[in-house]
Structure 1
């Protein structure tokens, strides 16, 4: 059987305040045609389907229109999607009963049985071929939040064990326990000749992260897990969260990467979906399928002003493009002295060009000990590093690991509690 692996769609993302619905729609149109052309039996979407926990109605419509169209074009196609750390697990699962009628399985949360064991049954999805025969089982594991995987007493544990703060109850140990129980249940379900395919939204040890656009999952890297959680009898591991397409240690363990650049720092990445072919219980072949970029992204600089202006002069220009297809542009200028009319000079060069200037970054000279040395780019610095700098300036020493862990948990709570009002401001 054959399936496509993709992740990190981030539907509804605003790019420096600009909507990207047109790009996402064109990507989904391309994905549907690719599924049809390659006669895929299944599609696995490994989390971060939406960009925020409360996506706009337009973003939700993109997903549901795609699912309906895919079922119309490929009535036997199995679609499995899981919630990522950007998603609300409850929202992902809300239309699940209806989506199952379209052969789509949406898993947003893990659940525990009364005896403290994982409810693994609901996370196991059969993958069928064109004749309807089950050829594989998908172990669909949504992003695991600390509250979901810590504090559960297992058979054989005592109440004192549960309260002791022992390693079995910390976050990473909880993640490991969920994987182990799910894999054990999958082994019991499968018949001879059926493959096991794991899908997870997580950060694996040793995987390369993006420069600016990936949100730390929970505890600043301490939550990363080992690829050793996926034993050799797992034919393929479909991962989400990291935007750079890559394999981790083995060809069978892969991040598909995001299908579109989510930040200018990702312009040079290969953006793709992965096709995987199973033969019996084993992985027979994989192929990276490049995703065409529906909207170009240009990153000019950093360089001196004259050089930047010269580069802007020769930017590709296609005035026949509809405005929603105009390229995004970031300009970075190195200045030796203030230039009050910098934006005016840049916009004058761009006059009449079919591009959208999203970001103009001024890079000022850094003089050690001088006022300029105190300037920081908050967008590039990020909340965690800003907190570390502030703490060290206040107390004369870097924050300890326990302080950073508390900060990361607080930050995650803030991100998870984002409201419709917050996300709607950039979309209204």
Structure 2
């Protein structure tokens, strides 16, 4: 299964009163070109699409127009969008049903009662387990493993399993992120990798703006980092 793993776009962000619209526009054009060139099976956006829970109409239009173009660049591809700590969870839930027409799956909230909202099957390719912003306060004990066990029951052909989440895991380099930073809305609490269960082939994370691979035994973990120029202080 070929995936394009990205996160932390922070659309609508201004840096010391500098409007970053042009930078974000160029980044989105690059995403469209990469999609058209490489034809991934799945396009994953692991949270913090917007910089604030209430982005302007122009910023929302930038995102929706780009998402449509990304879909058109590879109509067979599945797109998975999860909310981050900067996003409004409900904003990603409102248009969930209309987006499905373009094979876009949006996950804004952690649903403790239904696994179906978090499990997306890529036909004949694999499974994506999509989890929005998660920390030790909002994740029920055993939640990750329950989702992995559910996928294991369905995955009779042994296809790849990718889990995606917007979170901080112990062992990552979060230099520049701290509780006083404007980027760490909700804090920078770390989850232990063992809390995220066992049974996935690849863990695709957002939240930390450094692209990095975390070496930890059986876990295959990568942060995509933020595609716009560095946004840290």
Report the TM-score when normalising by structure 2: 0.90
1:233 paired residue number: 199
1:331 paired residue number: none
Give the deviation of 1:71 after TM superposition.
Answer: 2.0
Q: Which has the larger radius of gyration?
A: 1
1:87 paired residue number: 87
- Residue correspondence of structure 1 range 315-394 to structure 2 within 5 A: none
Aligned counterparts of 1:176 and 1:58: Cα–Cα separation in 2? 39
Deviates more, 1:255-264 or 1:21-30: 255-264
Indicate if the aligned counterparts of 2:142 and 2:195 stay in contact, CA closer than 8 A.
no
Give the deviation of 1:139 after TM superposition.
Answer: 0.5
Indicate if the aligned counterparts of 1:210 and 1:243 stay in contact, CA closer than 8 A.
no
Q: Is 1:22 matched up with 2:7?
A: no
1:54 paired residue number: 54
Aligned counterparts of 1:210 and 1:62: Cα–Cα separation in 2? 30
Q: Is 1:216 matched up with 2:184?
A: yes
Distance of aligned partners of 1:3 and 1:49 in 2 relative to their CA distance in 1, 3 Å threshold: same
Aligned residues: 228
2:127 paired residue number: 137
Match 1:248 to one of 214, 218, 226: 214
Indicate if the aligned counterparts of 2:31 and 2:70 stay in contact, CA closer than 8 A.
no
SS at structure 2 position matched to 1:140: strand
Match 1:260 to one of 211, 228, 231: 228
Indicate if the aligned counterparts of 1:135 and 1:193 stay in contact, CA closer than 8 A.
no
SS at structure 2 position matched to 1:257: coil
Higher relative contact order (CA 8 A, sep 6+): 2
2:160 paired residue number: 195
Indicate if the aligned counterparts of 1:3 and 1:44 stay in contact, CA closer than 8 A.
yes
Give the deviation of 1:3 after TM superposition.
Answer: 0.9
Say which structure is richer in helix.
1
Aligned counterparts of 1:11 and 1:176: Cα–Cα separation in 2? 33
- Residue correspondence of structure 1 range 40-51 to structure 2 within 5 A: 40-51=40-51
Indicate if the aligned counterparts of 2:93 and 2:106 stay in contact, CA closer than 8 A.
yes
Report the TM-score when normalising by structure 1: 0.50
Structure 1, gaps ≥5 residues long: 114-118, 128-132, 146-169, 266-428
Give the deviation of 1:231 after TM superposition.
Answer: 4.7
Indicate if the aligned counterparts of 1:214 and 1:243 stay in contact, CA closer than 8 A.
no
Indicate if the aligned counterparts of 1:144 and 1:175 stay in contact, CA closer than 8 A.
no
Give the deviation of 1:123 after TM superposition.
Answer: 0.6
Indicate if the aligned counterparts of 2:120 and 2:127 stay in contact, CA closer than 8 A.
yes
Aligned counterparts of 2:231 and 2:24: Cα–Cα separation in 1? 14
SS at structure 2 position matched to 1:208: coil
Structure 1 outlier segments of 4+, above 6 Å: none
- Residue correspondence of structure 1 range 149-168 to structure 2 within 5 A: none
1:130 paired residue number: none
Give the deviation of 1:134 after TM superposition.
Answer: 2.8
Give the deviation of 1:175 after TM superposition.
Answer: 4.7
Distance of aligned partners of 1:243 and 1:236 in 2 relative to their CA distance in 1, 3 Å threshold: same
Which deviations, in whole Å up to 9, do the C-alpha atoms of 1:186-209 show, x marking residues without a partner? 222222231110000111012111
Aligned counterparts of 2:195 and 2:153: Cα–Cα separation in 1? 18
Structure 2, gaps ≥5 residues long: none
Q: CA RMSD in A?
A: 2.0
